[in-house]
Structure 1
Amino acid sequence: MSSALEDQARRPAVFFDRDGVLNMDIGYLFESHKLVWIDGAREAVKAVNDMGYFAFVVTNQSGVARGLYEEAHVQQLHDWMADELGKIGAHIDAFEYCPFHPEGTVERYRQISHRRKPAPGMINDLLKRFPVDAERSFLVGDQPTDIAAARAAGLKGYLFSGPNLETFVRPLLLVG
């Protein structure tokens, strides 16, 4: 049984899928000049921050396994996104990505991974690293695999189909 102090230290989290939720899904995005934010995406992250929630990104990046770009490109894009969010006083607490795919062309990335959604590995890893109140946490994704990953990790999952992420997320923050 956890103590009241431990419960107090725990915070809810919002787990965001990246492509199709935070930014337009153009397929195998790795260049910042091609990133187009979804309407309200930056403001949604700021709302999550302002409510005291953790903000996480969990994204499959099979383009690495397919040889289309390197892990360094994913990290550079995430750094750029973090800088852009910082301009409005928003932040992501952790970016997690899975570079693996069982049909990859790059041998070291050609594998089944417990971190690739719909598996819950990225979410579970974050739940271990951060003091997250899972009961009050949720994931926002745009694909059934995102929702499946959330459920497998014991979280609520919400399917986002547009048009404005802030409008979608704000009422969910009040439900928790």
Structure 2
Amino acid sequence: MQKAVFLDRDGVVNIDYGYIGQIERFDIIKGTALALKKFKDMGYLTVLVTNQSGIARGKYTYSDFLKVTSFMQANLSLYDACFDGIYCCPHHENAYVEQYRVSCECRKPKPGMFYYAERDLKIDLHHSVMIGDHATDLFAARRAGISSLFLIGEHLKEESPLCPEAICYKTIGEVVEFIRKNQ
């Protein structure tokens, strides 16, 4: 079984401009590629787990998401930092696009995407880590059995009281250093 670092996308990996379905609006946060590479060098798989309600809301298509994902992976490949697994939930209970109007088990704060990754990549969830920018990211990870929870980004003031067991940092680079020192 392999340990993994799970990461949310918007606000963690890239700047969150809201409903990012076009390459032109996708900007990787400075230091992210290097941090992902360091996680890999420490023996972690890197796994993206992202709610993409913009698909369900008709803001962009699943195909658009795949194009942005390919663009992201191509950029990360320059640093040997590609994600080992990518899981997306395009669903929303109040979706505009009928095929995505589903009450699913994969939309965070539910843990479905973590279980899919566990099965597909042979991940040991107990020894894995979650990095998110919202408490719902961490709730999903906790429900899946992940106890190392990190909250980062622009929403710390509002989100940290919702998940008091989370360790809070401003950047993913700070999380890498914390884990490296405490392995």
Q: Is the 1:40–1:167 contact (alpha carbons within 8 Å) kept by the matching residues of 2?
A: no
Matched, 1:51 2:58: no
Q: Displacement of 1:39 after TM fit?
A: 2.4
Q: Distance in 1 between matches of 2:71 and 2:40?
A: 18
Task: Provide the secondary structure at the position in 2 that maps to 1:102.
Answer: coil
What does residue 150 of structure 1 align with? Answer: 141
Structure 1 unaligned regions, length at least 5: 1-9
After the TM superposition, which residues 1-176 of structure 1 pair with which residues of structure 2 at under 5 Å, given as runs? 10-156=1-147, 157-161=149-153, 163-176=170-183
One-letter amino acid of the counterpart of residue 101, structure 2: R
TM (norm. structure 2) is 0.86
One-letter amino acid of the counterpart of residue 171, structure 2: N
Q: Distance in 1 between matches of 2:32 and 2:177?
A: 11
Q: Displacement of 1:153 after TM fit?
A: 0.2
Task: Provide the secondary structure at the position in 2 that maps to 1:58.
Answer: strand
Cα deviation, 1:62-83, whole Å, max 9, x if unaligned, reads: 0111011111111111111110
Identity of aligned residues (%): 36
Q: Displacement of 1:134 after TM fit?
A: 2.1
One-letter amino acid of the counterpart of residue 150, structure 2: Y
Q: Is the 2:89–2:106 contact (alpha carbons within 8 Å) kept by the matching residues of 1?
A: yes
Q: Is the 1:11–1:131 contact (alpha carbons within 8 Å) kept by the matching residues of 2?
A: yes
Task: Provide the secondary structure at the position in 2 that maps to 1:112.
Answer: coil
Q: Distance in 2 between matches of 1:58 and 1:175?
A: 24
Q: Displacement of 1:133 after TM fit?
A: 2.3
Which structure is higher in RCO with an 8 Å CA cutoff and minimum separation 6?
A: 1
Across the aligned residues of Structure 1 and Structure 2, the Cα RMSD in angstroms comes to: 1.3
Q: Is the 1:39–1:164 contact (alpha carbons within 8 Å) kept by the matching residues of 2?
A: no
Q: Is the 2:6–2:131 contact (alpha carbons within 8 Å) kept by the matching residues of 1?
A: yes
TM (norm. structure 1) is 0.90
How many residue pairs match? The answer is 167
Q: Is the 2:9–2:50 contact (alpha carbons within 8 Å) kept by the matching residues of 1?
A: yes
Q: Distance in 2 between matches of 1:81 and 1:148?
A: 26
- Decide which moves more: 126-135 or 139-148: 126-135
Q: Distance in 2 between matches of 1:147 and 1:163?
A: 16
| Structure-2 change in CA distance of 1:134 and 1:22 (3 Å) | same
Q: Displacement of 1:131 after TM fit?
A: 1.9
Q: Distance in 2 between matches of 1:76 and 1:175?
A: 37
